[in-house]
Amino acid sequence: PIGSSRPTAPPPSRPVVAERDPEPTPAATTTTTVSIAGKVIEVAGKPKIHTVKSGDAIDSIARDLGTTRKDLVEDNDLKAPYVIRPGQKLKGPATTDKAYVAESGDTLAGVAKRFNVSVSALSKENNLRAGASLKKGQKVVLPDGYKDRGPIRTTVTTPAPRPAGSTTTAQAPVSSPPTTGLPSAPRPYTPSGSTPSTTYPRPSAPVSALPVTPPSAPSRPIIESSAPPTEAEIAAAGRGRFVWPLRGDMINAYGPKGPGQRFDGLDIRAPVGTPVKAAAAGDVVYAGNQVPGFGNLVLIKHADGWVTAYAHLSTTSVKMRQAIAQGEQLGTVGQTGDAPEPMLHFEVRFAPTPKDKAKPVDPALVLPR
């Protein structure tokens, strides 16, 4: 402008912050959990076995087995003159093995990871199924060649909360990448204006903090407003998308569980080791056991704002950011977390528009009859 002594400053490219007294910035919280921390003890192993060959004698066999003639005769109940035949199996003295003493919440897969052995080798050594659950105090014999890496340590860093009222910021909206944050503890859904009940059979909200971003160019949604969708709209939006993750007896169904409380999924009873399959194609956004109460948990994000959750698994066979097809196995039924018996806890959540947050819906509305 005419008469101006200096050019007008360009618009600021960074947020304009009103001056306030500086306040200390809270630090992020880092939590380290330790699992598979039981001790290793020595236990009685299987006796040495010698298969008799032509020309073998009692004395030479005793030397090979590291025992005496007398003990060999007594251990195998041989009678004088101690006639032995080729192919006959003679047992020697008992050996010793190393065994891991299981603690509450331990799994066969976790023990295999600590001792650098395969789950199949560990289950074979102990005559267990690969998906078997472990009880506190149970002795798990370690196969030959194991290597103890020590207890498994998992570190989770939680960003510091932004202090309220410390600055006044004028800033244009900035899009940030989606995160896969999970709550520090599962909490039941509580409608606004309600007083939560102090009793609740088992809280369930593993994906309440999971933002869902639909594809960049989604097809025209069936529900176009951010108003809460009706059951009919949810059923229409989910029609034909999902299949049952497994079939079994229903223990708990979706719905109210007292004043201000609601059960957000289904509990399905099934034997330990039963395969659990993806209800629809999508991407694995979480696979771990760091959500208290849910044990081994898998979350899958699907197209158009849908999310499914699978909890209390005995084993998981997927990893984060893995694409998974509908019907593909993601793990097996277990009794991890706070599950009182072998079961699958299954949830379906839906965000009708990109600006909405995924909320629990009744799985019965979208699963086939």
Q: Which residue has the higher pLDDT, 208 or 139?
A: 139
The closest of 207, 213, 218 to 361, measured between CA atoms, is 207
177 pLDDT band (50/70/90 cuts)? very low
153 pLDDT band (50/70/90 cuts)? confident
The closest of 131, 255, 238 to 204, measured between CA atoms, is 255
**CA–CA gap between residue 107 and residue 130 (Å, rounded):** 10
Cα–chain-centroid distance for residue 328?
A: 17
Count of all residues that appear for the chain in the document: 369
**CA–CA gap between residue 90 and residue 60 (Å, rounded):** 12
Residue 309's alpha-carbon distances to 213, 266, 293, in angstroms, are 16, 10, 14
In sequence order, the β-bridge partners of residue 334 are: 343
**How many Cα atoms within 13 Å fall on the side-chain side of residue 305?**
24
* pLDDT at 333 exceeding the cut of 90: yes
The closest of 312, 226, 238 to 273, measured between CA atoms, is 312
Q: What is the mean pLDDT of residues 255-265?
A: 78
**How many Cα atoms within 13 Å fall on the side-chain side of residue 327?**
1
What one-letter code names the amino acid at 251? I
pLDDT at 24: 63
Question: Which CATH number describes the domain made up of 40-152?
Answer: 3.10.350.10
Q: Which residue has the higher pLDDT, 177 or 271?
A: 271
Q: What is the mean pLDDT of residues 79-107?
A: 88
Residue 339's alpha-carbon distances to 46, 101, 105, 311, in angstroms, are 35, 22, 11, 9
The full set of domain ranges for the chain reads 40-152, 203-365
Cβ-based burial of 319 (10 A; exposed 0-12, middle 13-18, buried ≥19): exposed
pLDDT at 226: 55
Return the exposure string of 221-252: e unless at least 16 CB atoms fall within 10 Å of the residue's CB, then b. Answer: eebeeeeebeeebbeebbeebbeebbebeeeb
H-type alpha helices, the chain:
58-65, 69-75, 108-114, 119-125, 231-238
Question: Domain 203-365 has what CATH class?
Answer: mainly beta
H-type alpha helices, 82-201:
108-114, 119-125
* pLDDT at 275 exceeding the cut of 90: yes
**CA–CA gap between residue 123 and residue 103 (Å, rounded):** 17
Residues 276, 346 contacting (CB under 8 angstroms):
no
In sequence order, the β-bridge partners of residue 263 are: 255
Q: What is the mean pLDDT of residues 250-279?
A: 88
**CA–CA gap between residue 153 and residue 110 (Å, rounded):** 11
pLDDT at 219: 46
pLDDT at 185: 45
**Digit-coded pLDDT (tens) for 229-251:** 888 888 888 888 999 999 999 99
Query: For residue 304, what is the DSSP state?
Result: G
* pTM exceeds 0.75, yes or no: no
Residues 71, 90 contacting (CB under 8 angstroms):
no
Strand, coil or helix: what is 236? helix
Describe the chain by its helix, strand, coil percentages, rounded to 5.
10, 25, 60
Q: What is the mean pLDDT of residues 40-65?
A: 88
Task: Name the average pLDDT for the chain.
Answer: 79
* Most confident region among 74-78, 88-92, 308-312 by mean pLDDT: 308-312
